Structure 1
Amino acid sequence: MRLVFAGTPDTALPSLRALLDSPRHEVAAVVTRPDAQSGRGRRVHPSPVAQLAEESGIEVLKPAKAGDPDFLDRLRAIGPDCCPVVAYGALLPQTALDIPPRGWINLHFSVLPAWRGAAPVQHAVLHGDDVTGASTFRIVKELDAGPVFGVLTEPIRDDDTSGTLLARLAEAGAGLLLATLDGVEDGALEARPQPADGVSLAPKIEVDDARVDWTAPAMRVDRLVRACTPAPGAWTEFRGQRVKIGPVRLAPDADKLAPGEIAATRKTVLVGTASHPVELGEVQPQGKRQMTAAEWGRGVRFDDGETLV
């Protein structure tokens, strides 16, 4: 099939590479978000998908909005049979959805109808799910509600962050997306409506949502930090300044501490929660590099009774 691929971040790269390597499909162009600032210097860079497409000699479309008339005219001129989508990051109007005769097929990183929305992997980790997965479905106007072509499942490990889990799903999902497109081309695959029961929503997790609540139980703290790693990054405050927190270790056998209370040795930094303490891993004080919690503790020299808030 003749394809126009839509995607933006690194997460979309395994799928784009799989389609570029496929002898059955032609990627005629890619659609991605406009160039944006990134990195320490905040320089403007093309998206990872744009960079791979340019390296592969493929036309790149970067509409400010997917409903822009010039973009829609160009998409009609390219004439894709189908538009696969992985983490594009923008809403598609009906005028765009109507162009490819076989529709827009999205690879979404949950087992639909669970975790519809922008942050399915983060919410699966945050809510303590044992299993998640990926689904391919035909995009319709309602958010992530279209009929499903295929599904895969993936166990969530006790030490998974949203980053490690998403990396596995991106690789496995690339095979699912390719198999879906093969089946659609053959006419052997039919999309089925999602169940009416089991719908849950996964809105974007903002920076304010990533603040650690030390009055929550240790398991909740652990899940929040892992869900927010690497983005937007869990954080707390110490002496009036923000400190980013990497994954923690549960310490059920440690002496009980008040919520947020710090107990440090030269090798460990424990913090109290509503249940039992957790041991901090990597931290990043405001304006400084990432370091181990022990290294941070040796530098700041905690006073007795100091807390994280």
Structure 2
Amino acid sequence: MRLVFAGTPDTALPSLRALLDSPRHEVAAVVTRPDAQSGRGRKMHPSPVAQLAEESGIEVLKPAKAADPEFLDRLRAIGPDCCPVVAYGALLPQAALDIPAQGWINLHFSVLPAWRGAAPVQHAVLRGDDVTGASTFRIVKELDAGPVFGVLTEQIRPDDTSGALLARLAEAGAGLLLATLDGVEDGTLEARPQPADGVSLAPKISVEDARIDWTAPAMRVDRLVRACTPAPGAWAEFRGQRVKIGPVRLAPDAGKLAPGEIAATPKVVLVGTGSHPVELGEVQPQGKRQMTAAEWGRGVRFSDGETLV
């Protein structure tokens, strides 16, 4: 099939590579978000998908909005049979959805209808799900509600961050997306409506959502930190400044501490929660590099009774 691939971040790269390597499909162009500022210099950079496409000699479309007439005209001129999508990051108007004969087929990182929305992996970790997965479905106007072609499942490990889990799903999902497109092309695969029951929503997790509530039980703190790693990054305040907190370790045998209270040795930094303490792993003080909690503790020299809030 003649394809136009839509995607933006690193998460989309395994799928794009799989399609580029497929002898059955031609990637005629990619659609991605416009260049954005990144890095210390805040310079404008193309998305990871744009970079891979340019390296592969493929046309790159970067519409500010997918409803832009110029973009829609160019998409019609390219004439894709189907448009596979992985983490594109923008809404698609009906005018765009109507162009390819086989529609737009999205690879979504949950077992639909669970966790429809922008942050399915983060919410699966935050909720404490044992299993998640990926689904391919035909995009319709309603958010992540289209009929499903295929599903895979993936165990969520006790120490999984959203970043680690998403990386595994991106690799496995690339195979699912390729198999879906193969089945659509040869007519052996039919999309089936999603169940009406079991719908849950996964909106984007904001920076404010990522603030740690130390009065919550230790398990809840652990899940929040892992769900927000690497983005947007869990955090708390210490001496009036923000500190990013990496994955923690549950410490049920440690002595009782009040929520947010810090107890440190030269090698370990413990913080109290609503149940038992947690041991901090990596931290990043405001304006500084990431470091171990022990390094941080040696630098700040905690006073008795100091807290993270």
**If the TM-score is normalised by the length of the shorter chain, which range does it land in?**
over 0.9
**SS of residue matched to 2:209:** helix
Residue 182, structure 1, aligned to residue 182, structure 2 = yes
Distance 2:116 2:40 in 1: 32
Distance 1:274 1:146 in 2: 41
Q: Which string of whole-angstrom CA distances, capped at 9 and with x for unpartnered residues, describes residues 179-222 of structure 1?
A: 00000001000000000000000000000000000000000000
Distance 2:38 2:114 in 1: 31
Question: Bigger shift: 162-171 or 33-42?
Answer: 33-42
Q: Which string of whole-angstrom CA distances, capped at 9 and with x for unpartnered residues, describes residues 78-111 of structure 1?
A: 0000000000000000000000000000000000
Partner of 2:127: 127
How far the C-alpha of 1:306 sits from its partner, in A, is 0.5
**SS of residue matched to 1:255:** coil
After superposition, where does 1:1-309 map in structure 2 within 5 Å?
1-309=1-309
How far the C-alpha of 1:47 sits from its partner, in A, is 0.2
* Moved >2 Å (runs of 4+): none
Q: Which string of whole-angstrom CA distances, capped at 9 and with x for unpartnered residues, describes residues 217-256 of structure 1?
A: 0000000000000000000000000000000000000001
**SS of residue matched to 1:57:** coil
Distance 1:255 1:58 in 2: 59
Q: Which string of whole-angstrom CA distances, capped at 9 and with x for unpartnered residues, describes residues 146-170 of structure 1?
A: 0000000000000000000000000
Distance 2:298 2:206 in 1: 31
Distance 2:247 2:307 in 1: 18
Q: Which string of whole-angstrom CA distances, capped at 9 and with x for unpartnered residues, describes residues 116-139 of structure 1?
A: 000000000000000000000000
**SS of residue matched to 1:209:** coil
Distance 2:288 2:82 in 1: 47
How far the C-alpha of 1:39 sits from its partner, in A, is 1.1
Distance 2:166 2:69 in 1: 34
Count of matched residue positions in the alignment of Structure 1 and Structure 2: 309
How high is the TM-score relative to the length of structure 1? 1.00
Distance 1:287 1:267 in 2: 23
How far the C-alpha of 1:50 sits from its partner, in A, is 0.2
Identity %, equivalent residues? 93
Runs of 5+ unmatched residues, structure 2: none
Runs of 5+ unmatched residues, structure 1: none
**SS of residue matched to 1:302:** coil
Distance 1:269 1:79 in 2: 59
**SS of residue matched to 2:163:** helix
Q: Which string of whole-angstrom CA distances, capped at 9 and with x for unpartnered residues, describes residues 26-56 of structure 1?
A: 0000000000001111110000000000000
Distance 1:91 1:109 in 2: 17
Distance 1:178 1:41 in 2: 38
How high is the TM-score relative to the length of structure 2? 1.00
How far the C-alpha of 1:294 sits from its partner, in A, is 0.5
How far the C-alpha of 1:172 sits from its partner, in A, is 0.1
Q: Which string of whole-angstrom CA distances, capped at 9 and with x for unpartnered residues, describes residues 58-79 of structure 1?
A: 0000000000000000000000
Provide the alpha-carbon RMSD of the alignment. Answer: 0.3
How far the C-alpha of 1:305 sits from its partner, in A, is 0.5
Distance 1:226 1:256 in 2: 23
